[in-house]
Chain A
Amino acid sequence: MQEESNANGKFKGATQYVLDEELAQIVNISMALEMPLLLKGEPGTGKTMLAHAISEALDMKLIVLNVKSSMKLVDALYQYDTLTRLNDSRFGDSTRNVSRIEDYIKMGKIGQAFASEEKVVLLIDEIDKADTDFQDDMLDVLDQMEFDIIEIDKTITANHRPVIIITSNAKKDLSDPFLGRCNFHHIAFPDPDMMQKIVQVHFPDISKELLDASIRAFYKIREFRGIEKKPATRELINWIRALQADPDFKVKHLIKGDLPYLGVLFKKSPDYAASRQAASRMRI
């Protein structure tokens, strides 16, 4: 899927990522305007993968900040390692200078992105997990491209403004000030045609029959009733991998409605049970 080159700093897709033109345009605009890009969409639509693809395509380092619900903003910026300092001061057997607090400051993910000598891609994954204060404060930092380390009274300013990709799982709306500072895009779940391309990127020599049959089965499976977590792209790819690995598997099984390895697609036991039942009643 790699098209021409990604020269002149424009993003055109990567080896393992199928990009639609619209999204490429949005990424490029966000980079040109130096604004964070907020991506929403259901799991498995490739939000996180986009950041990886950008970093690969533009040959920039990727720094990933996985947001957790208990996270405080300062954790993402830097950490002051008091314990090591205390230890050093007692035993004095390290090369660090105990009287220099700076030696004991470790950069968090955002700090690393700012301190980096080269332009990097900063992926802030699943921002919706954190509370609203975290989100707003973080955007302040990203806006100003600097933060203070209180312990040493020093301001860290970004050498280069990183390319910032923020993902959210659409569980709840983010606050207005937050949205105001981001560009926004919602990635819809890929349609079967798009999905064919995606699968082909991952399995360049997949047979046409298997491709068609598995994707048709996959979209039917997604419509099963009473499923809590619908299988997404990642599950489909793993499923096809499992099908290919099985020497006894024939494509006509799928066409007959015999669906092996449902456990690859459904990760929750009630879902698995429900899918088994639904599958036994299904014909493709």
Chain B
Amino acid sequence: MFTSFFYLLRQVGIPASPTSFLRLQEALRQGLITSIDDFYTAARTLLVKSERYFDLYDQVFAHRFEGADLKEPEEFELNEVAKTMLEEWLKDPKGMADALGVDEESLNKMSPEELLQYFLDRLKEQTEEHHGGSKWIGTGGTSPVGHSGYHPGGMRVGGVSRNKSAVKVAMDRRYRDYSQEGPLTQAQMGEALKRLRNLVPAGPKDVVNVDETIYQTMKNAGEIEIVFDRALKDRLKVILAIDNGGWSMDPYIGIVQTMFNYARAQFKELKTFFFHNTIYDNLWEDPARYRKPQPVEDLVRRDPETRFIIVGDASMAPYELMATDGSIHIEERTRKPSYERLQFIADTFPHSVWLNPKMAEEWPYTRTINMIREIFPMFELTVDGLEAAVTYLMNGN
């Protein structure tokens, strides 16, 4: 019963398991489901295990039971892709009209259906990916059709087409949102940072060591001698140094901020410093990098077991890294080149890594990244990268 519905759910990408489908059968058998509304809720609670799929479920349900149009599985994706692709074109209604070869007024008179048809025709004419130009569907071009909003008739394009070639374009980014390699989300970051926990006996002595207690009691001729052990507590010390200056880091500050919040809950001892581009004589405790300097030399007084994590894009002019007085801040006069400072940190803290929000494939093209990679092991600021970084930090290298 309802097998096709089940397969349809799976087809559109909802990970419904066979076991859960059997449970749905069980619910039906027990007479728990007496109406279509019941079935809607029951099937959802049993088959769909994340709110992310609720919308998709609704669409499939509407298709299967109310006869609504269901898009081809690929086109669920196209919907999103078309939206982003077309948004660009839609910023300029006049350009659209020009591209169509009609004036803006007559374009306004087109009904949404006509405009839709126009878009479909364009898709059919198109046989390959196309970038630029003024007629074809692709990227970087102009065309009068697109997703809702701009057209006075308010048409929505996403997902109505059945043309495979456009889907090909869509395929380019189909799984981007699910990939582990995309920018970090909060949830992923928390997971990854958790691996940094290093259980070492350092908590208060409040756990009874039963074996030892029995032994000591026996030794004491039955007079009870209770032996306490230290509770296992996470006492890993972590220093985070974050590049929070300059436009080049701007897009990543949000991600890094997330990392902060998680990190703070994660460790007992966490020190956060800021720097701009690279580290010179001082790190800064305040994000404005003005009031509270922390001389790099003083870091030597800290526990060498501390994990030193630097977050930055490591992209700058080579002289900033190599020259004495390399800082781009005029007031910051330095005695040693940053290169040596970084080397010093790496020597002081054997457990140190550099996390780079730039993706690894871009690294070879920036000279300073290559230079810094000689000092610190560098990892991407992604879940995969972070996992590798944590593994590295825990290996005791």
Contact = CB atoms under 8 A, between A and B. Distances in A.
Contacts of A37: 45
Interface string A214-232: 0000000000000000000
Contacts of B33: 29
B222 interface: yes
Contact of A32 (B32, B186, B188, B224): B32
Contacts of A82: 208, 210
Contacts of B191: 172
B19 A87 contact: no
Contacts of B226: 83, 86
B41 A26 contact: yes
A173 B180 CA distance: 14
A200 to B, nearest CB: 25
A204 interface: no
11 contacts: A25-B41, A26-B45, A29-B27, A29-B42, A32-B30, A32-B32, A33-B46, A86-B226, A172-B190, A184-B45, A184-B49
Nearest to A86: B224
A32 B27 contact: yes
A32 B30 CA distance: 8
Contacts, number: 71
A180 B20 contact: yes
A4 B30 CA distance: 24
A154 interface: no
B187 A173 contact: yes
Contacts of A233: none
B51 interface: yes
B208 A83 contact: yes
B256 interface: no
Interface in A116-154: 131
Contact of A173 (B23, B27, B37, B50): B50
Interface in A21-35: 22, 25-26, 28-30, 32-33, 35
Chain B, interface size: which category? 35 or more
A262 B26 CA distance: 50
Interface of A: 22, 25-26, 28-30, 32-33, 35, 37-38, 40, 82-83, 86-87, 90, 131, 170-173, 176, 179-180, 182-186
A25 B217 CA distance: 59
A175 to B, nearest CB: 11
Interface in B13-29: 15, 17, 19-20, 23, 26-27
Interface of B: 15, 17, 19-20, 23, 26-27, 30, 32-33, 37-38, 41-42, 45-46, 48-51, 54, 186-188, 190-191, 194, 208, 210, 213, 217, 222-224, 226
Nearest to A26: B45
A35 B187 contact: no
Nearest to B262: A171
Contacts of B213: 86
A186 B54 contact: yes
B18 to A, nearest CB: 10
B140 to A, nearest CB: 34
Contacts of B49: 38, 179-180, 182, 184
A29 B32 contact: yes
A180 B17 contact: yes
A72 to B, nearest CB: 11
A25 B48 CA distance: 16
Contact of A90 (B17, B37, B46, B224): B224
Nearest to B186: A171
A185 B40 CA distance: 13
Contacts of B50: 173, 179, 184, 186
Contacts of A28: 32
B25 to A, nearest CB: 11
Contacts of A22: 41
A29 B45 contact: yes
A179 B37 CA distance: 23
A86 B217 contact: yes
A190 to B, nearest CB: 15
A227 to B, nearest CB: 14
A82 B224 CA distance: 12
Contacts of A176: 15
Nearest to A181: B19
B306 to A, nearest CB: 23
A23 to B, nearest CB: 9
Contacts of B26: 33
A221 B33 CA distance: 41
